[in-house]
Structure formats: structure tokens, C-alpha cells
A and B are shown apart, each in its own frame.
Chain A
């Protein structure tokens, strides 16, 4: 099963990255590492890599911070908690493409409710082309990325919070610890496994996220706001390169980058653990 689902496609991907393909997709022979050399020479690559780092780090970072707060809130008893918990699942359950399209309309310069709201509140004095202005596109995409990542992350952290036994808090309180002290010395350390899982999985999800960047950025010519995932797709089908082999080379790089990022992250965390 694992062989069929993972190994075979991985091998095929690696093989495609070593081949040359016509624009129609016709295989024209092996070219060794040439696609990798050409990949490094692509003019757009540095900007795309920088975009990817900003995208992943910001979305994962902001998501974790907000989710910590949300999870804490949802862990408390309050009337209507069940309802709020359900409501939080909605952006997760909805299809990413539908959510992205919805946000395209929310951000729209002429018809969008965001400009409408901000103008009537007096926050803006003129409308902003959120998805067309080079200064705001990435921020607009990141906001959507955070929005769809919150439910999963919050639930992982909520599960983590609820697995912390009540008597630990009891003991801390008896010792006279302040709430902030309790949070730092009891909650955060005991939440660490949940945080680890949430961070590692989010790095992978967010890095591989295609629909948000693709849908929100589809009006912008060039590669100025692409991540390595959407750039791969453009190389294969939407740019003058139209080259499946070159795209496969980037695909291999993408898989390795994800692996490396997670390994580095896990190692860094473990190293700190031993240090403490």
C-alpha cells in the first residue's frame, strides 16, 4: 500500500525530473541533471523562494499565536461554547478553493465588502486594490492562510490543553503561583507535544498550499507573488517555459525542502529540550 501510494509516484517524479519533455508532454529522452541546473538559473527563483519563506513562517507563526489564545478560550466553560467550537470548524470543512474564491470577492476593489467596510468606518480614505497592489497581495494571502489554518491548529492545541491534569494546576495554585507564572511554567511545557505536532504539520500544509495562492494571485502577471508550489505549476503549464521536466525538478526540491524543514525543526526542539 505504502509502496503503491508513495514510493511509485515519488520514483516517477524523480524520473520525470531527469527527462526532457516537449510542450505537449511528449517524452523526448533523458537529460541527466540538466533540469536542476536550469532551475537554479531561473531569474524568478530567488523572489519565489523569499515569498515561500515569508508565506510559511508568517502563516504558521501567526496561526500558532492566535490558536494558543483561541484554544485557551475554548477550554474555559462558558454558555454557547459548543456552538463556538462548531463554528470554528467551518473554515476547515469548506473547500479551500471555495474559501479562496469567497475571499477574492471580499478583497475586490470595486465590489468587495472589505473596502466598503473600511471606508465607511473611516479607516481608509480611498479603496485599496488588495489583490492587485504589490504591497498588499502577500498580506491578503497570508490572512486567508491563517484563517483556514486556525481550526485544525486550535483543535490540536485544545486537545493538548485538555490532556493536562487539573491537579497540576491545583498544586500550582496552592503554591501561590500567579496566573502568568502558571501559564509559563505549567501550561506551556505540558503543551509542548501538541505544539510540536501542530507546528510540524502546519509547516507541511502551508508550504504545500496551492489553492489560496493560486486563486488570490491569478490576476497578477509574472512570478512576483508565487510560492514554490504555484511556481512549479506555472513552469509546467502557465509560463513560456511550459516544461514538465523542469517543473518535476522543482517538485523534487519541494519535497526535499519540506522534509528538511520538518527535520530541522524537530531536531532544534529536541536539542532545546535536552538543554533545559
Chain B
């Protein structure tokens, strides 16, 4: 009986892994804790381990390096902060909530002016909270429109679609090939619904915010979401249940298998396709419903946590990473895009990257500079897909998101 009773309490243990826990020594200047998200198994760990060794050799400061997979990084970082053991350097896809909580050094305190001035302007702006740079750009990516050349040829489509009307026609032609061929793979499942949605929204002239105000449920956006729901339920040119399909193991997997005519991809997908050699693909700009095509740029961040006596050590580490040889070697290995002017110059020599580098200046970023975004993003991930399911209600879903976004703005 006693043993039986102990088990449920073990459930508490599991939870306690991320709930509050005991307190230990915090870093100290003898070592810094560096937490990096794992972009790929092959490159992330090896690069950062090498960089840490190089850093320790120069500075005699040890590096406690933790490479954490994307699925659990939010949880692990939250646990560290709850336990009052924040990292010294953290790599993540958001930063403004940390800046708002006053946990971060301003970039100027931990970067040499040379490094600071090398950032591409758009990405520096994307890391700014209330006029100060806190989220230091670590790497970027841009989405592009991928199409399967063999399927396009079979369907008699000569060029990738430029407008939404052409897009729908082409998707219908592809779907009509039969044999399980899918016109367009639309991933609006929880993994990254906000990314797919951003691209369609912007190419219809809508946006997340207008000035300081959220505009998630604007008429334009309702029109866009209705268009996506129609792709699934009226034209029937998507894979089954697009609201419940994730990107990596859903849409990309189908495209890599040659089942899909069109998908929104990015450079790492191109690398995988090249490596597998199974699908002949083309890369184009996004089809648009108004004006010039817009693509989604994604920027990830490095941030430095304020801890007693760690400023010089952190500064040394960041400056080492931003040495052109280091940052560019890693970004190229991972298949991502540069965030620095020097990196852009170096990488434009690579012809394969041209479509993405060309798209980069016109890429738009999601509003990561607003701390409310960190909640809006999760809300979108958990609800947007429901709007494109049969019987889904685009306007209601967007109204709700708008309401929650406005509330998140107000405070916590």
C-alpha cells in the first residue's frame, strides 16, 4: 500500500523537472553557460563545441554548452529561469519577453562596435525592444515557393504561378493528375501555422499589426483565411486535413516524396532535396493577390543574460562567434542565411542561395519585437488550423485571436 501511494507522488517529480526546484550555484566568472537550439544533428553540436574550445583556449573561461532540441527548449529555459539559474548566453526564436522582464544586457554592452555595425539593418530592427537592441541576430532564413518540375510538366504548366488565380488553376491541374498527387501542401498544424499564415496574409495585403494596433481579424485577413479554407474544402487541392498537418513531418515529407506539386519551402529543405536527389524542384517567388510578392524572413536570436560579473566573459564569447569566419562557416553548414553585411557578401558567391538572398531584402518579419507576440504565436498555432477544417469559421477564429492578442498586450 505504501509503495502504491508513492507512485502518484512521483508524478510530481516529473512536473518538478520544470516547476520550481532547489537552488544551486550560479555560473560565476570561471564558466559561462551557453544554451543553443539544435538546428541539425550534424552541424549544431560540432560547431558550437569547437567554438567553445576555441573560446576557452583564449580566455581560460570554461563553457558549459547545452545544445537543446527545439521541442523542449522553451521548457528548459523556463526551468532555468524559475530556478534562478539563467544561462549566460541563450539562442532562441524570441527575445522581447526576456527584455521586458529586464533579464538581458543591451547588445551595446556585450558587443564590440565592429560586430554591432555589421548587422543587416532589417535584422537589427527585428531584435529591438523599445528602441534598444537586445535580440542579437544569430542567423536568418527566408521562405520561397517550391514546385515539382516533373509534376508541372505532366500537368502542362509552363511557369510557376504569379497570382492567386493562377495558383488555384495550377493546383487544380496538378490535383487532376490523380494517383494521389496533391496540388498544394498546406501545413496549418500547430508546429508553425504562423509562418504559413504570414506568407498568405502578406501576399493579400494584410498584416499582423498596423502601427501599435493588432489587425489580425481585418477583412483582408478573413478573406485570406477563407481562401485557404476553400483550397482545402471547395477546390480540394490540398493534402488531407491541412489544419492538422505539420510542416516538417507533414508537408515537407510529402513534397520530398514527390507527391506534391507546390509547397512553401526554405533553404534547408532545398539541401535535403538535393541530398536525396529524388525530386526535381524549382524555386520561385510567392504567388500574390495584390502588388509585389512578399516572403517571410525568419530571424533567430542570441541574447546575453545579466548576471553578476559575467559581462566581459559573455562579450568575448559573442565577439568570437561574430568573427566572419566562424558565423559564416556555421550558417553555411546549416543551410541558413546571413544576418551580417560581411556574411551576405561572402555567401552571395554561392549560386544555390541566390533565390533566397534575392528575397531577403523584401522579406518581412513577424512582430517578434512585441512581447505579446510570444503568446499570439502560440495562440495562432493552437487555433488557426481549426478554421480550415470542414465547417471551420475563419472570421470567428480570427476574431478570437484578435481579442486574445489585444488582451495579451495589456499585461500578463
CB distance from A136 to the nearest CB of B (A): 11
**Interface residues on chain B, size class:** 35 or more
> What 1/0 flags go to B1-20 for Cβ under 8 Å of A?
10011111111111110111
Task: Name the B residues within 8 Å of A258 (CB-CB).
Answer: 7-8, 11
For the complex, what is the distance from the CA of A237 to the CA of B374, rounded to whole Å? Answer: 11
Contact pick for A110, options B5, B78, B81, B180, CB 8 Å: B180
> What 1/0 flags go to A88-116 for Cβ under 8 Å of B?
00000000000000001000011100000
With A9-B13, A242-B375, A244-B19 already in contact, the answer to whether A221 and B244 are too (CB < 8 A) is: yes
For the complex, what is the distance from the CA of A266 to the CA of B1, rounded to whole Å? Answer: 10
Q: Is the CB of B18 within 8 A of A23?
A: no
Q: Is the CB of B375 within 8 A of A221?
A: no
For the complex, what is the distance from the CA of A186 to the CA of B239, rounded to whole Å? Answer: 56
B330 within 8 A of A: no
Q: Is the CB of A200 within 8 A of B75?
A: no
For the complex, what is the distance from the CA of A28 to the CA of B13, rounded to whole Å? Answer: 23
Task: Name the A residues within 8 Å of B239 (CB-CB).
Answer: 109-110
> What 1/0 flags go to B55-92 for Cβ under 8 Å of A?
00000000000000000001101111110000000000
For the complex, what is the distance from the CA of A239 to the CA of B250, rounded to whole Å? Answer: 21
For residues 218 through 242 of chain A, which have their beta carbon under 8 Å from a beta carbon of chain B? 218-223, 232, 234, 236-242
Task: Name the B residues within 8 Å of A238 (CB-CB).
Answer: 74, 190, 378, 381-382
List 6 A–B pairs whose Cβ atoms lie within 8 Å, in order of A's numbering. A24-B77, A27-B20, A132-B245, A240-B378, A248-B15, A255-B12
B103 within 8 A of A: yes
A189 within 8 A of B: no
B97 within 8 A of A: yes
> What 1/0 flags go to B364-391 for Cβ under 8 Å of A?
0000000100111011011111100000
A13 within 8 A of B: yes
With A133-B241, A221-B243, A262-B4 already in contact, the answer to whether A16 and B19 are too (CB < 8 A) is: yes
With A23-B97, A25-B78, A219-B189 already in contact, the answer to whether A251 and B15 are too (CB < 8 A) is: yes
Q: Is the CB of B375 within 8 A of A204?
A: no
A15 within 8 A of B: yes
Task: Name the A residues within 8 Å of B14 (CB-CB).
Answer: 208, 210
With A236-B18, A244-B78 already in contact, the answer to whether A6 and B12 are too (CB < 8 A) is: yes
Question: 4 smallest A-B Cβ distances: which pairs?
Answer: A9-B16, A25-B78, A240-B379, A25-B81
Contact pick for B16, options A13, A110, A132, A240, CB 8 Å: A13
Contact pick for B98, options A8, A16, A24, A28, CB 8 Å: A24
For the complex, what is the distance from the CA of A239 to the CA of B8, rounded to whole Å? Answer: 26
- CB within 8 Å of A: which residues of B? 1, 4-16, 18-22, 74-75, 77-82, 97-98, 101, 103, 180, 188-191, 193, 239-241, 243-246, 249-250, 253-254, 257, 259, 371, 374-376, 378-379, 381-386, 404, 408, 412
For the complex, what is the distance from the CA of A28 to the CA of B97, rounded to whole Å? Answer: 14
With A9-B12, A204-B8, A242-B375 already in contact, the answer to whether A222 and B103 are too (CB < 8 A) is: no
Contact pick for B82, options A21, A201, A204, A223, CB 8 Å: A21
Contact pick for B75, options A13, A21, A237, CB 8 Å: A237
Q: Is the CB of A22 within 8 A of B180?
A: no
A87 within 8 A of B: no
Task: Name the B residues within 8 Å of A24 (CB-CB).
Answer: 77-78, 81, 97-98, 101, 103
Task: Name the A residues within 8 Å of B21 (CB-CB).
Answer: 9, 12
Q: Is the CB of B386 within 8 A of A221?
A: yes
Q: Is the CB of A218 within 8 A of B19?
A: no
Task: Name the B residues within 8 Å of A20 (CB-CB).
Answer: 412
Q: Is the CB of A10 within 8 A of B190?
A: no
With A21-B82, A23-B97 already in contact, the answer to whether A240 and B12 are too (CB < 8 A) is: no
Q: Is the CB of A204 within 8 A of B7?
A: yes
Contact pick for A26, options B81, B241, B381, B386, CB 8 Å: B81
Task: Name the B residues within 8 Å of A242 (CB-CB).
Answer: 374-375, 378
